[in-house]
Amino acid sequence: TAELKKRILGAPGLSVAELSRLNFELGEAFASAALKISGRSRPSVIGSHGQTVWHGPNAVPPNTLQIAEPAVIAERTGVTVVADFRPRDMAAGGEGAPLVPAFDLFLYGHGPLKAVINIGGIANTSILRRGKILSAFDTGPGNALMDEAVRRATKGRRDFDRAGRLAASGTADEKILSRLLSHPYFLRMPPKSLDRTTFGPAFLDRIYPRLTPKNIPDALATLCELTARSLWLAVMENAPGPLSEVVISGGGALNAHLMRRLRALFSPSPVGVTRIPVMAKEAACFAWLAARALDGMTNNAPSATGARGPRILGKIVLP
């Protein structure tokens, strides 16, 4: 619901009692979703990433918090749940993110050099070749800044720029773009990961303090170009040669304007989408991570997170 979404976005400001309540409410919501999806089938395990309310890889000590009580999910569904994956990697010296590269390696790791990219709220990439992760990290903003800009310009009537049509009708501001691309995060070497605030609402406030239907096309064109260009620069700076292909997943794959810009930037390397439905890849990833954990198999990618070595991520809750 809109009210639940508002509380999730405001979670860092909740009291301990309110956060605990939200943790259990989300557990109920996740359990309902799992039951609806599974229908008459009975899954062997449910992998639940949870809802991130805080991720502080650079804090002292590094820490993270995902909520949606797995005990509630296990109780309601009668299925074993594996959840809370990130803390184990952080305990081993990693950033707890990104976790998708291990799955990327499983799906796409064999063969010549390629970049596998997921564009959700933030964007990340895995650069793979012949069974190895050469580099994997969060590249910068994905859809989050664009979505927030649309919400502000429309006073909440719209949540995103469908197919990137508004961005396509605007013109990117190269002066603003040049300034944004000099952000310290883009200058850091991998492994690295993003928290929720680096490219969040406050960042948008500094660029566009007032967004209206009149200036939103140019603002979206600029923010879309920031996502595309920061992705392209990150991949090209870390790929040791020409790419055989670029594979895209996540909500960004549904943004036609963003996809056009990525194809233009990565040319002549072909740019396509994942074999798994683009909006389901991360769900498939956490199912895979859960199955690995349940089988006692390591499921992180130390080269991506900076962890001291392979670890089994996830806490297991029996039904």
Going by C-alpha positions, the residue among 100, 131, 137 that lies closest to residue 299 is: 100
Phi-psi bin for 250: left (phi > 0), alpha (psi -120 to 50), beta?
left
Residue-level pLDDT at 197:
86
Report the percentage of the chain scoring pLDDT > 70. 100
pLDDT digits (tens, 9 = 90+) for 227-261: 999 999 999 999 999 999 999 999 999 999 999 99
pLDDT digits (tens, 9 = 90+) for 259-268: 999 999 999 9
pLDDT at 229: 99
Tell me the β-bridge partners of 115. Answer: 127, 246
CATH architecture of 2-94+282-317: 2-Layer Sandwich (3.30)
**Contact call for residues 78 and 43 (beta carbons, < 8 A):** no
pLDDT score, position 70: 99
pLDDT of residue 148: 96
Assign domain 100-273 to a CATH class.
Answer: alpha beta
Distance CA 251, CA 13 (A): 28
Please give the pLDDT value at position 2: 80
187-231 tens-digit pLDDT: 999 999 998 789 999 999 999 999 999 999 999 999 999 999 999
Q: What does the block give as tokens for 220?
A: 């979206």
* DSSP state string for 4-20: HHHHHHTGGGS-HHHHH
Q: 139-173: per-residue pLDDT in tens?
A: 999 999 999 999 999 998 999 999 999 999 999 99
Region 296-304: what's the mean pLDDT? 97
Q: Do 46 and 35 meet the contact criterion of CB atoms below 8 Å apart?
A: no
Predicted local confidence at residue 259, as pLDDT = 99
Read off the pTM: 0.91
Indicate where the chain has its CATH 3.30.420.40 domain(s): 2-94+282-317, 100-273
Averaged pLDDT, 79-96? 98
pLDDT per position as a tens digit, 18-77? 999 999 999 999 999 999 999 888 999 999 999 999 999 989 999 999 999 999 999 999
pLDDT of amino acid 9:
84
Average pLDDT, the chain: 96
pLDDT above 90 coverage of the chain, percent: 94
